[in-house]
Structure 1
Amino acid sequence: MPKLSAFCLALVGCAFASLAAAATPAPAELPSLLSSIEQRLNIADQVALSKWDSKKPVEDRAREREVIAGAVVLAPEYKLEPAFVEQFFAAQIEANKLVQYGLLVDWRLRGEAPNSPRPDLVGQIRPQLDGLQKALLLQLAAFTPYRSSPDCPQWIASAIDRGNRDALHRLALTRATGEMCSSAH
């Protein structure tokens, strides 16, 4: 029996040690990066309204290539790997489309979109998205030293869990942050 007690104590000690290791606080750079990602996702609501009104498809491959190429060109200026920037912005676009598709389906089921102001896609919405691009690059550069931390996935999951957002935007945020942590650690 004493061996069993010693084993149980060792097991409990290991559990507490692993909890302590996983409890490393998230870096101060993470909240601002996630906030900008969420701002970009919230703009997807306006894009969806524009697509609803114009009957244009959500998918706009030419615009997507333009956004990603613009970010990749700027990557070295922020000391970021172009391949990672390409992957990151592709994830942002996929998450944005996820929100648009989700909202459009909901509105089709209801037979109407919300009666809210409709900003112009080209003149108002896209400039907001373009402005966020540089902020995201700057914040991503600041967060890059933490990407390879074994705690990175937990920091992001915890931040997503703490937020007050609907299921669609939560899923989109999960998609947008899916490649933020590096597996090389």
Structure 2
Amino acid sequence: MGTSNVQAAPPDLFDTINDRLGYMQAVAAWKVENQHAIEDPAREKIVLKAASEAASKAGFNTDTVEVFFEAQIEAAKAIQLCWANRWHTGSPRPEHVPDLVTDVRPALISLGDKIIEQLSSLSVSPKDQADFNAAVRVDCLPEDNRNELFDALINISETTE
């Protein structure tokens, strides 16, 4: 990919990342309700493999995209754990819990594909940090995880230029 086709990162990419992480409360609710562990190593492997394949098709360095998706997985687990802990200590759980397999997972896959698509024509630089922080504001997202996500985005951009 040449830099002539790469544009500055618009808020759309950051909003898509926020939207994807926004589903983690529903994921946590389903896991708690169905007594599933927050960590699902088998599912993580599937997500990383799919991200790597999509990245390869889009012409990305698959290693940098995998690092980004690993950062997303870690952020997702942190958010889910936060929600599970809140509910364990008495905060009310959502009344309606969408099904993880039929409702939530297809949306997550679609958003993951959208992120890859948006990355193929965008570039993220350190000057985008404030916009990223303003857009990616999911409740329960630790600052360290937010920073790891942003750093991984910069890494992808640097390897595509």
Same fold (TM over 0.5): yes
Q: How far off its partner does 1:28 sit?
A: 4.8
1:154 corresponds to? 127
CA gap of 1:36–1:164, structure 2 versus 1, over 3 A, is closer
* 2:37 alignment partner, SS class: coil
Deviation at 1:154, TM superposition (A): 3.4
Normalised to the residue count of structure 2, the TM-score between the two structures is: 0.82
Letter in structure 1 aligned against 2:141: H
Change (3 A) 1:178 1:98: farther
Where relative contact order (Cα < 8 A, 6+ residues apart) is larger, the structure is 2
Shift of 1:166: 6.0
Equivalent position of 1:65 in the other structure: 45
The 1:122/1:91 distance shift into structure 2, 3 A limit, reads same
Which ranges in structure 2 are unaligned for 5 or more consecutive residues? 1-6
Aligned to 1:78: 58
Q: Deviations over 1:52-101 (max 9, x none)?
A: 10121110000000011011112122111111111111111111111001
Gaps of 5+ in 1: 1-26
Structure-2 change in CA distance of 1:160 and 1:137 (3 Å): closer
- Partner residue in 2 for 1:42: 22
Tell me the distance in 2 between the aligned counterparts of 1:167 and 1:123.
24
| RMSD, matched Cα | 2.3
Measured in 2, the distance between the counterparts of 1:164 and 1:39 equals 8
Q: Quick check: 1:58–1:101 contact (8 Å CA) kept in 2? A: yes
Q: Give the percent of matched residue pairs that are identical in Structure 1 and Structure 2.
A: 27
How does the TM-score come out when normalised to structure 1? 0.72
Number of aligned residue pairs: 151
Distance in 1, matches of 2:57 and 2:32, equals 37
Higher Rg: 1
Distance 2:126 2:134 in 1: 14
Partner Cα separation in structure 2 for residue 168 and residue 130 of structure 1: 21
